[in-house]
Amino acid sequence: MTNAFTEIAFWTLSAITVGGALGVIRTQNMFRAALLLVVSFVGVAGIFALVNADFLAVVQLLVYGGGVAVLVIFAAMITTNVAEGNRGTDTQLFGLVVSLALLMALIFAVVQAQWTLLPDDLPEPLAAAFMDTPAAIGRMLLNQFVLPFEIAGVVLLAAVIGALSLVRER
């Protein structure tokens, strides 16, 4: 892995992700907002691939780029005339101040914290663990995380049944 390639990939993917997210909150057209959201999700998937999370990159594309995006587009088209209206609230200035303050605080915390970092080139047994993340994540889900895994299944079932009963025509 050449370092220059990683640099270029990181900055390009960051620009795509942040640009997409900014577009989502700026655009007035809900259909365009949903498409820009997909752009942002694909950028995040690229970031995942860049930091050795290949399984998560694929899941991100399938679940967000596929499922969530389609749901959002359908909901936007069912509920509204998409070209009209994504007006701001009365609390826009408050929101801007709060989020900028939080951003400053987070950046300050990240920069001044003392991290004990792993090197960019991992020593051998650690590098092997990051080579095969789908199998390792699968083993963890069925060993020490088996209870959360089962509960996640129940949560999804409850969400599907709840969604169906909410939108049912009476």
Q: How far is the CB of 86 from another protein (least distance, A)?
A: 5
Q: How far is the CB of 121 from another protein (least distance, A)?
A: 12
- For another protein, the closer CB: 8 or 140: 140
CB 62 within 8 A of CB 29: no
Q: How far is the CB of 75 from another protein (least distance, A)?
A: 4
Measured in whole angstroms, the distance separating CA 44 from the mean position of its chain's CA atoms is 6
Q: Is the dihedral of CA 22, 28, 32, 37 positive or negative?
A: positive
Measured in whole angstroms, the distance separating CA 53 from the mean position of its chain's CA atoms is 13
In SS3 terms, 135-151 reads as HHHHHHHHCCCHHHHHH
- For another protein, the closer CB: 8 or 51: 51
As a whole number of angstroms, the distance between CA 51 and CA 41 comes to 16
Q: For residue 22, give the nearest of 32, 43, 36, 38 by alpha carbon.
A: 36
Joined together, the tokens standing for residue 5 give 């390639």
Q: How far is the CB of 4 from another protein (least distance, A)?
A: 14
Q: How far is the CB of 127 from another protein (least distance, A)?
A: 10
Joined together, the tokens standing for residue 169 give 């025509």
